[in-house]
Amino acid sequence: MTTPLAAPSDPTVGADLRFLEEVSAATAGVSRLEMCIQCGTCGGSCPVAADMDHTPRMLFAMIRAGMRDEALRSNTPWICVSCYHCVVRCPQEVHIADVMYTIKSMAIRAKLYQDSVAPDFSQTFVDMVENYGRSFEFGLATRHYLKHFPLRIPGAASMGAGMLSKKRMTVKPKRIAGMAQLDAILARAKALELTS
Amino acid sequence: MSGYLLYPGCSLDTGARAYDESLHAIAGPLGLELTEIDDWNCCGATEYLGINLIPAYALIGRNLALAARQANGSRTVVAPCSACYLNLAKADHYMRERPILGERVNEALAAGDLQYEPGSLEIRHLLDVIINDVGLDEIKARVKRPLSGLRVAPYLGCMVPRPDYEHRWSDHEHPIELDRLLDALGAEVIDFPLKTHCCGGHMTQIGPETAYELIRRLLHAADQFKADVIATVCPMCQLNLDAYQGATNRHFGTSYEIPIVFFTQLIGLALGLDADAAGFGREMVSARHALGRVGVKPPPPTDAEARRRPKKDRLSLPMPQMPGGEGGEP
C-alpha cells in the first residue's frame, strides 16, 4: 500500500536540498540517481511494491525534494528483495538496488527506521560474521526469533529440527583461521568514508 | 580442462550441503579442477551492504585478495551461490567503476597485509562455467541415464542473470542457457515463465508474508506446468522454496508438493550417480517421486521421516473425498 506524500505549506521548509547529492555520493558505484526521469518503470517491475510505503520512483522523488526524514523512515528499502528487475529495466540505468542499500545504512545511522525487524536481522547476521568470519544460521535464527518472532518459535524449531536431522544446519559455528586479520581489516574499514 | 578457484560460500557447508555433495561428485567426470580459496570468509550476503558500505566491501575484498594471491595459472573464481557470486562480481566491478571505492577497500585490506587489483580476477557463477567451459556437447556425451520423462522447471532466480555486469547471459529475464543444459540431460524442460523471479531472499526471516507470496507464485507457476521438480542454481532459492514450502502452503491453504533440487544434482543423476551421491535425501519436500520417474532408487528416509504418517501418493487414482474434508487415508 502506498502512502500519499504529505504536502507542507512551504515545501522548502525543512527540506535538505543536498540530500540527493549525499545519497548518490554514499552509493558504491556511480549511482546515476540524478538521472531518474520519474518514469515509474521501477515500481511497475517490483514484485513487492504492494508492501512498500513508497514505490522506488516515489522514494527517489522524495530524495530529490530533500525530504530526508520521510525518505529514511520509509519501509521501501527494507522491503526491497534485491531482485534487480528494476535495475535491468531502468531506462536511465540507475543503480536502484545499491541506492536502497545506501538508504538503509543512512536510516540505521540516523535511527529513523520504523520497524526494527529488518535492521536487527542484518545487524545480527553481521555480528555473526564479525565473530566467526562465516555466517552462523543457528545462532542467527535463535537470536532473531527470540527477539522478534517468539510466537513463531515452535514452527521454526520444528523446521530447525528437520534441517538438523538432514545435516543442513549445525549448532556449532565455524571460525576462520584469519580472524585477527579480518578484525584488523574491518576495524580500519569502519574508520573510512567513501566520500571524504 | 583448466583449474578454478572455488569460493563455496557458507551455505554449501550447511543449508545447501546437497549442492556441495553433488558439485564435488560431478566435478571429476566433467573435468573441473576446483581448488578452494584458503580461509575464505562470508561474503556478507545481502545484509552487510545495507549496514556499512566500506566494511561490507572490505569483507568481500579479503576473499578477492586471498584468491588473487592463491591464483596460480588460473584467475577464474567460481561461486556456486548466486548471492556470493554477485557480491564478488559487484565488488570487483564497482572498485573499477568508482576508483575511490577501490582505494578505500585497499586501505582497509592493508591492515591485514592484503591488497586487490580490481579486474585481476574473473568472477563467474558455476552454471556459467559448466555451460560455457565444459560445454553442452561434452555433457551430452557423458549422459548415461537420460532424464527422459522428468518435467523440470528451470529456475535461475535473480542474481545470476541480473545485473550481469559482464553480459554473459542471453537475457536478463528469460535466458535460455539453463533450459538447454537440462535439455542436454534428456529432461523434459518446461518453458517456465517465472524462471528469473525472486524467491523472497531474506524476507522469509523479516517479513514472512511478503516472502510467502513470492514463493507461492513460483510454486503455482511450476504446478500449472505440471513440473516434477524445480531445478535451482542458488542455495537461498532452494532453501526458501523447499524449507518454506510447508509454511507457504499453511499460509495460503494450498498443498503444493514440489521438490526443489540443485541443477548439479540432476547432472549427477544423468551421469549415472545414485541418489545419495547426488545429494538427494536432504530436501525437505521429498524428491522420491521424481527419482522414481527416472528409475533411481530414493535414499533411505531419515528416522524422523520414517515416523511420519505416509503422504498421499500423487500418482494414485483420485479417490472420493468427503466435502470440505481432507479425504484421509483409505
pLDDT in tens, A140-167: 999 999 999 999 898 888 889 999 999 9
What is the rounded distance in angstroms from the CA atom of residue B34 to the CA atom of residue B232?
Answer: 21
* B163 preceded by a cis bond (ω within 30 of 0): yes
In this structure, are A80 and A122 located in the same domain? Answer: no
The whole-number pLDDT of residue B304 equals: 64
Q: What are the helix (H) ranges across A27-95?
A: 41-45, 56-64, 68-73, 76-79, 85-89
At residue B220, does pLDDT exceed 70?
A: yes
Q: Which CATH architecture has domain B3-126?
A: Up-down Bundle (1.20)
The whole-number pLDDT of residue B329 equals: 40
CB atoms A133 and B205 under 8 Å: no
At residue B134, does pLDDT exceed 90?
A: yes
Q: From the CB of residue A8, how many other CB atoms can be counted at a distance below 10 Å? A: 11
At residue B313, does pLDDT exceed 60?
A: no
CB atoms B51 and A135 under 8 Å: no
Tell which of A110, A132, A149 closes a domain: A110
What predicted TM-score, i.e. pTM, was given to this entire model? 0.92
Mean pLDDT of the region A16-28 = 94
Tell which of A110, A132, A152 closes a domain: A110
Q: Position of cell 518503470?
A: A41
CB atoms A167 and B17 under 8 Å: yes
Mean pLDDT of the region B108-116 = 98
Within-domain flag for A4: no
pLDDT in tens, B234-243: 999 999 999 9
A18: distance to nearest CA of chain B, Å? 20
CB atoms B243 and A162 under 8 Å: yes
Chain B residues 41-70 within an 8 A CB cutoff of chain A: 41-42, 44-55, 57-59, 61-62
CATH of B144-307 given 3.40.50.11810, 3.90.226.30, 3.40.30.20, 3.50.50.60: 3.40.50.11810
pLDDT in tens, A64-95: 999 999 999 999 999 999 999 999 999 999 99
At residue B274, does pLDDT exceed 50?
A: yes
Name the residue among B5, B166, B161, B151 with its Cα closest to residue B74.
Answer: B5
At residue B328, does pLDDT exceed 50?
A: no
CB atoms B97 and A29 under 8 Å: yes
In this structure, are A105 and A178 located in the same domain? Answer: no
The whole-number pLDDT of residue B1 equals: 42
CB atoms A82 and B46 under 8 Å: yes
At residue A5, does pLDDT exceed 70?
A: no
CB atoms A185 and B198 under 8 Å: no
- Please say whether the beta carbons of A49 and A74 come within 8 A: no
**Which of B42, B57, B90 lies nearest to residue A135, judging by beta carbons?**
B42
Query: Domain boundaries in chain B?
Result: 3-126, 144-307
What is the rounded distance in angstroms from the CA atom of residue A64 to the CA atom of residue B74?
Answer: 46
What is the rounded distance in angstroms from the CA atom of residue A87 to the CA atom of residue A56?
Answer: 11
Mean pLDDT of the region B290-297 = 96
Pairing of the two strands B3-6 and B122-125? unpaired
Q: Supply the range of the domain harboring residue A169.
A: 117-190
* Residue B319 banded pLDDT, cuts 50, 70, 90: low
What is the rounded distance in angstroms from the CA atom of residue B254 to the CA atom of residue B247?
Answer: 10
Report the residue of B13, B17, B36, B54 to disrupt the A interface, i.e. the one with the largest count of A CBs within 10 Å.
B54
Give how many domains chain A has, as a whole number.
Answer: 2
Q: Is B159 at the interface with chain A, CB within 8 A?
A: yes
Q: Position of cell 563467474?
A: B124
The whole-number pLDDT of residue A8 equals: 56
Phi, psi torsion values for B301, nearest 5 degrees? -65, 155
Rg of the Cα atoms in chain B: 21
At residue B326, does pLDDT exceed 50?
A: no
In chain B the first and final C-alpha atoms are separated, in Å, by: 56
Q: Is B251 at the interface with chain A, CB within 8 A?
A: no
What is the rounded distance in angstroms from the CA atom of residue B85 to the CA atom of residue B126?
Answer: 9
**Chain B residues within an 8 Å CB radius of A159:** 243, 246-247, 284
Mean pLDDT of the region B254-281 = 98
Q: Position of cell 545484509?
A: B47
- Mean pLDDT of the residues in chain A: 93
In this structure, are A152 and A74 located in the same domain? Answer: no
Mean pLDDT of the region A116-129 = 96
